Amino acid sequence: MGRSSTIGSRSRRNFLAASGGLIAAAAAGNTSAFGAVATQESGSRPLSPGAARKIPIGVFDPAFPDMPLDQMIEKFAGWGVEAVEIGTGGYPGSKHCPVEELLADPAKLRAWNKKFEDRNIRVMTLSCHGNPVHPDGKIAERDWQTFQRTVLLAERLGVSVIVGFSGCPGGSPTDTMPNWVTYRWPPEYAQMQDWQWKEKVIPYWKQAAKFARAHGIHKLALEMHPNFVVYNPRTLLMLREAVGEEIGANCDLSHLFWQQCDAVEVIHMLGKQGAIFHAHMKDTTFYKENVDRYGVLNFAFEKKDLPLASETFRAVGYGHSAGTWKEIMRAYMEVGYQGMFSVENEDPILSGEVGVERALYVLKNVRSELLGTS
């Protein structure tokens, strides 16, 4: 953190004992956010034997859409970033990764990768979030082609994990827009949901997993995200059972907090099945008076909309306390998670590099305490 930062001015121990919800509430000008009362860090329980593994901490690059690659890498190196998740198309875009150019020229690919290696940063994950089962055939084909190119690039880079969305089809063969069905009544909604899974979602992901397998990629990390058919741990496991063990989770807890999931319970449940392939590190804060009035299906993405919002995304430590994130990271270590902790910043208050830098600060210090290196 910069020397002028409020967070950076605190001692590590004091910061870890403070509630991220309190900071979030102050930053948003809303003192009634959940977690506004500071909680004590739970640091007494030691890690399980053999669990003390230094999981790499890194960044997902779409937080820097206007920053040239070389400048971004230098900034990451200055922050001590150990790994990166790189967008290769779809919703994240491919600002820092000209996929087709790199696939066409092995020398350019080596030079691109060397930029990271020279700064001791590992390219660990490629991400191509899209909607490959979109009812518009042009969109579906575009996202399928993006996925295939991403698999080929991962194969050449030695990257083992590809992140994306499950997608969402229409509700019938004649629909032109996606139809997200989560509630199976009245009966026509159950019929739509069954049709989506049987005719579109499962066939697509069987095809995708087969293509990935053929190129040595065995980890397709699907982000459990609203407006897509895989939106919670149950729907993730349903698809995994139908398709195979190539399907696993990008465990982005920010989407599970508002669904009232217990983060540690989810990590243990999925981790024991070997179903966590990637972890986006992003927080969510709640505004209790608006939850009480409007419920949780009342998300806001823009700062101007926060006065009426029930919740919004925040940087790690600004929705839940550092002590909570310590238990989350402990859980990842205890289930033997083999991926990276990837900071994704969509915080409407701490935008861009500010949110990323502060999240990195929390995660690094929490990891140090867990490993006994603080």
Q: What tokens were used for 96? A: 């820092």
Q: What is the residue-wise DSSP string for 122-184? A: EEEEEE----TT-SSHHHHHHHHHHHHHHHHHHHHHT--EEEE------SSTT-SS-------
Summarised one tens digit per residue, pLDDT across range 349-364 is 998 899 999 999 999 9
299: DSSP letter: B
**138 has a pLDDT exceeding 70:** yes
Q: Which residue has the tokens 């991400």?
A: 127
At 8, the pLDDT band (50, 70, 90 cuts) reads very low
**37 has a pLDDT exceeding 80:** no
User: For 152, phi and psi rounded to 5 degrees?
Assistant: -65, -40
State the average pLDDT over residues 123-152. 98
Burial 267-285 (b: 16+ CB within 10 A, else e): bebbbeeebbbbbbbbbbb
Q: What gap in Å lies between CA 54 and CA 210, rounded to an integer?
A: 32
Q: What gap in Å lies between CA 90 and CA 270, rounded to an integer?
A: 26
**303 has a pLDDT exceeding 50:** yes
Summarised one tens digit per residue, pLDDT across range 92-125 is 999 999 999 999 999 999 999 999 999 999 999 9
Neighbours of 29 (CB within 10 A): 9
**159 has a pLDDT exceeding 70:** yes
State the average pLDDT over residues 30-45. 40
pTM: 0.89
State the average pLDDT over residues 173-182. 97
Peptide bond into 187 cis (omega under 30): no
* pLDDT computed for residue 267 by the predictor: 98
Share of the chain above pLDDT 90, in %: 84
* pLDDT computed for residue 44 by the predictor: 54
At 307, the pLDDT band (50, 70, 90 cuts) reads very high
Q: What gap in Å lies between CA 21 and CA 34, rounded to an integer?
A: 6
User: For 121, phi and psi rounded to 5 degrees?
Assistant: -115, 130
At 52, the pLDDT band (50, 70, 90 cuts) reads confident
Mean pLDDT of the chain: 90
Helix, strand, coil tally for the chain in percent (to 5): 45, 15, 45
Q: What gap in Å lies between CA 331 and CA 337, rounded to an integer?
A: 9
Summarised one tens digit per residue, pLDDT across range 189-238 is 999 999 999 999 999 999 999 999 999 999 999 999 999 999 999 999 99
305: DSSP letter: G
State the average pLDDT over residues 67-88. 98
More confident position, 43 or 146: 146
Q: What gap in Å lies between CA 114 and CA 116, rounded to an integer?
A: 5
